[in-house]
């Protein structure tokens, strides 16, 4: 899902508190990434028209009365009829962005989640984003019934133990494997913008963005760790250690974290 850093995890940008919808927030993230990276994404109006067309098709296709049937119909539309597929190259920003996913019919777990969440928002289907270490998926959650939707497996429901085995998600964590609200979900997308700035060497901009993300997701261990890395590169050792310690308190087994702490002490 994520752009990789020294800790092999991802990044986001600044949460769009004034966005009227999740879709608008994701399009703002895409526009910023496009401006920095020159991705040549479709024009916003073209993306919005594509979404309108998909919403019309989805309204005709998703007519089930139960959560299981609704999810099956949405999965069939996206993966079978429309041919969207997973993209496993986590080193590129494009497949995480909604316009790219719509144009290419492929995306990372985060990119496909953006598509599902956009359609669900318009259809009134209660889907929420869910974060695991280095991974993202969506969940049907109406307050009574929950059903996970694993986008890298064409929407199959995977047991929670699968996420713990494959992604090392700790049990009883305040953030991982919990249903996220709109602002928290946008913060995950923005985290990837922060990683983008860090990987391009704009560490001060990355620090600003990580701090904004952590204001929304204070238990996001990867964001603390990558914030520490940005501080470390700038020679701000005390701030780096503080950020690493916050990551360690949230997720002691975070890959790469102990290595960075050891390097900081040398």
CATH class of 22-167: alpha beta
Every domain of the chain and the residues it spans: 22-167, 182-265
Please state the rounded mean pLDDT for residues 5-9.
38
Residue 96 C-beta-side C-alpha neighbours within 13 Å = 33
Instruction: Kindly report, residue by residue over 166-201, the tens digit of the pLDDT.
Output: 999 998 899 999 999 999 999 999 999 999 999 999
Residue 102 C-beta-side C-alpha neighbours within 13 Å = 27
Buried b or exposed e, range 217-252, using 16+ CB within 10 angstroms = bebbbbbbbbbbbbbbeeebeebbbebbebbbebbe
Instruction: Kindly report, residue by residue over 160-172, the tens digit of the pLDDT.
Output: 999 999 999 998 8
Contacts of 32 (CB under 8 A, 6+ apart): 13, 193
**182-265 domain in CATH 3.30.365.10?**
no
The structure's pTM equals 0.91
The candidate with the shortest Cα–Cα distance to 119, out of 33, 43, 52, 219, is 52
| Cα dist from 91 to 4, 103, 108, whole Å | 6, 19, 10
Instruction: Give the pairing of strands 127-132 and 135-141.
Output: antiparallel
Instruction: Kindly report, residue by residue over 12-23, the tens digit of the pLDDT.
Output: 333 433 446 999
Torsion of CA 116, 171, 248, 25, to 10 degrees: 20
Asked whether residue 4 carries a pLDDT value surpassing 70, the answer given is no
Question: What is the separation of C-alpha 263 from the centre of its chain, rounded to a whole number of angstroms?
Answer: 28
Asked whether residue 11 carries a pLDDT value surpassing 70, the answer given is no
Instruction: Kindly report, residue by residue over 79-117, the tens digit of the pLDDT.
Output: 999 999 999 877 789 999 999 999 999 999 999 999 999
Instruction: Kindly report, residue by residue over 70-81, the tens digit of the pLDDT.
Output: 999 999 999 999
Task: Confirm if 258 and 238 have CB atoms less than 8 A apart.
Answer: no
Residue 1: the pLDDT is 52
Task: Confirm if 30 and 102 have CB atoms less than 8 A apart.
Answer: no
| Cα dist from 39 to 43, 44, 204, whole Å | 11, 13, 23
């Amino acid at each position: 899902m994520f752009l990789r850093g020294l800790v092999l995890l991802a990044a986001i940008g600044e949460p769009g508190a004034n966005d009227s919808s999740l879709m608008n927030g994701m399009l703002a993230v895409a526009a910023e990434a496009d401006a920095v990276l020159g991705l040549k994404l479709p024009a916003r109006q073209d993306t919005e028209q594509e979404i309108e067309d998909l919403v019309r098709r989805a309204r005709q296709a998703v007519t089930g009365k139960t959560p299981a049937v609704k999810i099956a119909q949405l999965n069939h539309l996206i993966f079978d009829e429309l041919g969207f597929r997973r993209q496993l190259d986590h080193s590129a920003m494009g497949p995480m962005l909604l316009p790219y996913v719509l144009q290419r019919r492929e995306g990372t777990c985060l990119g496909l989640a953006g598509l599902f969440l956009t359609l669900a928002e318009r259809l009134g289907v209660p889907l929420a984003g869910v974060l695991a270490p280095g991974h993202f998926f969506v969940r049907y959650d109406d307050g009574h019934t929950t059903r996970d939707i694993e986008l890298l497996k064409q929407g199959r429901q995977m047991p929670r133990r699968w996420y713990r085995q494959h992604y090392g998600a700790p049990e009883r964590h305040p953030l991982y494997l919990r249903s996220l609200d709109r602002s928290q979900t946008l913060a995950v997308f923005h985290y990837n913008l922060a990683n983008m700035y860090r990987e391009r060497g704009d560490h001060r901009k990355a620090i600003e963005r990580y701090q904004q993300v952590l204001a929304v997701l204070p238990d996001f261990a990867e964001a603390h760790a990558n914030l520490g890395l940005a501080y470390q590169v700038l020679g701000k050792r005390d701030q780096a250690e503080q950020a690493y310690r916050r990551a360690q308190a949230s997720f002691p087994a975070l890959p790469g974290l102990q290595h960075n702490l050891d390097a900081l002490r040398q």
